[in-house]
């Protein structure tokens, strides 16, 4: 059941999804980010992807940490519960929420500061538990909200607005995630809506922790010449390693692909991801291949995008723990409480 607050006017050309909802119904409140901020484009991609997937708003939860990026859950799907938590700790709240109700579709939005500095630990452990969620890092190489300090994802040599270069190594969330055993790792660019929408869909369908690192330029603090996270730099250096098409369960793979360059990954819910590879020496189902590929392109000064690694069989958190299929918050008290007799019996052993 869904309820829409806005009066419904069917404008010509506006499509409804399977639930009868307009794309507008997947919007949230007005963004307060800077005009041109990459984060807003990601929000728009989320709106489109969620609408196309026909996800019932009430089945979705949106969580985040703190930062400009972490403000964005307020800007999509107003009909979903949201949780803007504390800096760097979104994954733990998502873990608890998912522990309590495994049926919810969970989107976590984070920033490079939020996930790679203060929240680096929680980022790693969400991956380690293979928490069933879409984990988005809106990556701009700076702390936007605290006015432009370098973040841990700033590349060596990349310069700050006033010209000072970053001299430290950057933490690459994609390579880190693959090395830590993530089951779904992808990278995209806020300026590439088409790719982003497909990866969001694939990430949501993936039964585990889907890490999606999105280069998302900060127009106010990190879009100048000398920055390696600017629009211009990213456009010039991104290299599409794979093109992913998400095919829903009921859908049919119709596109024609050249032999040998295509992998189709079937997901547990019957949907599949069709991957078109740019390079024949790259196998995104093999960790060593993915890491090697990333290093090779780093040497070439390129930023590989697309779905970079997938292992759809690695068990997610509840499978590992053996939790009941029914969400824990749906059990009645009678199903949870052992009762008086059991307590009496138990205490016979305590004498």
Partner 1 sequence: MPATQSRINDFVLKIATVNGTGSASANGLLMQALFRMGIPVTGKNMFPSNIQGLPTWYEIRASRNGYMARSGRVDIMVAMNAQTYQQDMNNVSPGGFLVYDSTWPRERSMTRNDITILGVPLSKLCNENFSVARMRILMKNVAYVGVLAALLDIDLDIVHALLEETFVAKPKLVEGNLQAIRMGYDYAKANFACPLPVHAEKMGDNAGQILIDGNAATGLGCVYAGATVGAWYPITPSTSVMDAFTHYCEMFRTDPDTGEKRYCIVQAEDELAAAGMVLGANWVGARAFTPTSGPGISLMSEFIGFAYYAEIPSVFIDVQRVGPSTGMPTRTQQCDLMLCAYASHGDTRHPMLFPANPGECFELTVKAFDLADRLQTPIFLMSDLDIGMNDWMVPQLEWDDSYRPDRGKVLGPADLDKMERFVRYTDTDGDGITYRTLPGEDSRGAYFVRGSGHNRQGGYTEDSKEYEDVMQRLLIKWETARKMVPPAVMTRAKKKTRLGILAYGSSDGAVVEARDQLAQQGIHTNYLRIRGFPFGTEVLDFLHDHDTVFVVEQNRDGQMKSLLKLETNNPADKLVSILHFNGMPITSDCVVNGVSQHLAAEAAA
Provide the binding-site residues for Mg ion, judged by CB under 5 A.
111-113, 140
Question: Does 77 engage in binding with ligand SF4 (CB under 6 A)?
Answer: no
Per-residue DSSP letter, 351: -
The two tokens of residue 52 are: 């196309």
Q: Is 187 helix (H, G, I), strand (E, B) or coil?
A: strand
Residue (79 or 141) nearer to Mg ion, CB: 141
* Paired residues of 309 in beta bridges: 185
Which of 98, 201, 206, 297 is close enough to bind partner 1 by CB under 8 A?
98
Residue 252 touches which member of partner 1, ligand TPP, ligand SF4, none, C-beta under 5-8 Å by kind: none
Give least dist CB 79 to ligand SF4, A: 24
Give least dist CB 89 to ligand TPP, A: 9
Question: Does 79 engage in binding with partner 1 (CB under 8 A)?
Answer: yes
Q: Are 280 and 260 in contact (CB under 8 A)?
A: yes
Ordered DSSP codes for 31-67 = P-SPTT-HHHHHHHHHHHHHHHTT--GGGEEEEE-SS
Give least dist CB 198 to ligand SF4, A: 24
Give least dist CB 246 to ligand TPP, A: 26
Q: Are 93 and 63 in contact (CB under 8 A)?
A: yes
Cβ neighbour number for residue 314 with a 10 Å cutoff: 16
The two tokens of residue 71 are: 């403000």
Which of 34, 86, 179, 291 is close enough to bind partner 1 by CB under 8 A?
86
Residue (254 or 347) nearer to partner 1, CB: 347
Residue 114 touches which member of ligand SF4, Mg ion, ligand TPP, none, C-beta under 5-8 Å by kind: ligand TPP
Task: Sketch the per residue contact string, 219 through 238, with ligand SF4: x for CB under 6 A, - otherwise.
Answer: xxx-----------------
Give least dist CB 76 to ligand SF4, A: 16
Task: Sketch the per residue contact string, 35 through 64, with ligand SF4: x for CB under 6 A, - otherwise.
Answer: --x-x-------------------------
| Residue in 95, 180, 162 with CA at minimum distance from that of residue 132 | 95
Ordered DSSP codes for 299-317 = HTT-EEEEEEEE-TTS--H
> Kind of pairing, strands 303-310 and 184-189?
antiparallel
Residues that bind ligand TPP (CB under 6 A): 66-69, 87, 111-114, 138, 140, 142-146, 151
Taking the mean position of all CA atoms in its chain, how far away is CA 235?
Answer: 21
Measured at CB, which residue is nearest to ligand SF4? 144
Cβ neighbour number for residue 75 with a 10 Å cutoff: 24
Question: Does 113 engage in binding with partner 1 (CB under 8 A)?
Answer: no
Question: Does 321 engage in binding with partner 1 (CB under 8 A)?
Answer: yes
The two tokens of residue 292 are: 């090697």
Cβ neighbour number for residue 166 with a 10 Å cutoff: 21
- In the complex, the residues that contact partner 1 under the rule CB under 8 A are 1-3, 56-59, 61, 63, 73-74, 78-86, 89, 91-101, 103-104, 121-122, 124-125, 129, 318, 321-325, 327-329, 331, 333, 335-340, 342-344, 346-347, 350-351
């Amino acid at each position: 059941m869904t309820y829409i607050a806005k009066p419904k006017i069917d404008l010509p050309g506006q499509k409804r999804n399977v639930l009868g909802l307009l794309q507008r119904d997947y919007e949230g409140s007005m963004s307060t980010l800077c005009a041109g901020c990459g984060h807003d484009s990601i929000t728009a991609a989320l709106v489109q992807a969620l609408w196309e997937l026909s996800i019932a708003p009430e089945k979705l939860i949106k969580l985040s940490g703190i930062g400009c990026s972490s403000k964005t859950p307020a800007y999509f799907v107003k009909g979903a519960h949201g949780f803007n938590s504390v800096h760097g700790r979104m994954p733990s709240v998502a873990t608890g929420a998912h522990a309590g109700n495994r049926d919810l579709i969970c989107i976590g939005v984070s920033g490079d500061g939020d996930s790679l500095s203060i929240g680096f630990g929680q980022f790693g452990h969400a991956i380690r538990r293979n928490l069933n969620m879409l984990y988005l890092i809106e990556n701009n190489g700076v702390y936007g909200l605290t006015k432009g300090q370098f973040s841990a994802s700033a590349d060596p040599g990349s310069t700050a607005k006033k010209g000072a270069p970053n001299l430290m190594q950057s933490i690459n969330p994609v390579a880190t995630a693959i090395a830590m055993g993530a089951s779904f790792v992808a990278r995209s660019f806020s300026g590439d809506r088409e790719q982003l929408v497909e990866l969001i869909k694939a990430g949501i369908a993936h039964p585990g922790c889907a890490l999606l690192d999105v280069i998302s330029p900060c127009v106010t603090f990190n879009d100048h010449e000398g920055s390696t996270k600017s629009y211009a730099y990213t456009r010039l250096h991104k290299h599409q390693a794979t093109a992913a098409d998400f095919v829903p369960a009921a859908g049919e793979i119709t596109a024609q692909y050249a032999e040998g360059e295509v992998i189709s990954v079937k997901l547990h819910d019957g949907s599949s991801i069709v991957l078109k590879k740019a390079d024949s020496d790259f196998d995104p189902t093999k960790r060593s291949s993915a890491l090697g590929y990333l290093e090779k392109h780093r040497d070439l000064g390129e930023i590989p995008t697309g779905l970079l690694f997938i292992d759809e069989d690695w068990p997610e958190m509840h499978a590992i723990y053996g939790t009941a299929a029914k969400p824990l918050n749906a059990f009645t008290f009678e199903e949870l409480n052992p009762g008086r007799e059991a307590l009496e019996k138990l205490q016979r052993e305590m004498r």
